[in-house]
Chains A and B, each alone.
Chain A
Amino acid sequence: GAGVSQSPRYKVAKRGQDVALRCDPISGHVSLFWYQQALGQGPEFLTYFQNEAQLDKSGLPSDRFFAERPEGSVSTLKIQRTQQEDSAVYLCASSLGQYNQPQHFGDGTRLSIL
């Protein structure tokens, strides 16, 4: 079956622009996660949804970061007034919902802020 799909794969933006990153999880997966992966590092948690409810946004680095999942499937991560330090790969993952179920990752969006 289809895996987690993220778009765009690559995004270049000028500092100060707003960007939107999309994630299509695996059908039927209740839980959806966003991670930020800096070069040479492991993924770092940003936010977590269970269906349409955003249950944890403790990892969002600033109020410029906003995520939504209005119908409990597709999710969008929005970054306003981008800064150079926002340059990273943004990974989306989905899972069946139980805490110890493996998360299935998309290939990520590589964001470069000029």
Chain B
Amino acid sequence: AQSVAQPEDQVNVAEGNPLTVKCTYSVSGNPYLFWYVQYPNRGLQFLLKYITGDNLVKGSYGFEAEFNKSQTSFHLKKPSALVSDSALYFCAGPNYGGSQGNLIFGKGTKLSVKP
């Protein structure tokens, strides 16, 4: 079965420290993967995507993600966390068993950045 997993329910980081939010995938073919962020009572905002090419993808607000095919991972990273980065983060990948563009989302990781 195709799936996207986020093994951590919550990540706590001090402001100014690097952050990593983990995602692993289990999808067939060449995956394309997304990271989204969700603030309270808001919809999801697109951060970045991987399709092909460079394994290190740069996105919005200083975030980047590293695609690792051998480890089937697509971890989200930021060199220096801000308090305003505190939010819910979702990794998503394709549901090849479904229609074009149909995405499977992880359950989300709550990022808390303390001053």
Which residue numbers of A lie inside 8 Å of B, CB to CB?
A: 4, 6, 31, 33, 40-45, 48, 50, 55-56, 58-59, 91, 93, 95, 99-108, 110
Contact = CB atoms under 8 A, between A and B. Distances in A.
B43 A91 contact: yes
Contact of A43 (B44, B94, B101): B44
Interface in B92-106: 92, 94-95, 98-106
Contacts of A110: 41
Contacts of A99: 32, 94, 100-101
A48 B99 CA distance: 8
A33 to B, nearest CB: 7
B105 A43 contact: yes
A45 to B, nearest CB: 5
Interface residues of B, number: 26
Name the 4 nearest CB pairs between A and B, nearest first: A56-B99, A42-B105, A105-B43, A102-B46
A6 B94 CA distance: 24
A103 B105 contact: no
Contacts of A100: 32, 49, 51
A12 to B, nearest CB: 16
Given A4-B43, A45-B95, A107-B41, A102 B100 contact: no
Contacts of A107: 41-43
A42 B73 CA distance: 18
Given A105-B45, A107-B41, A42 B108 contact: yes
A42 B41 contact: no
The winner among A4, A99, A106, A107 for most chain B CB atoms within 10 A is A99
Given A91-B44, A105-B43, A45 B107 contact: no
A54 B101 CA distance: 13
A42 B90 contact: yes
Given A42-B90, A100-B49, A102-B49, A33 B43 contact: no
B25 interface: no
A37 to B, nearest CB: 9
B30 to A, nearest CB: 10
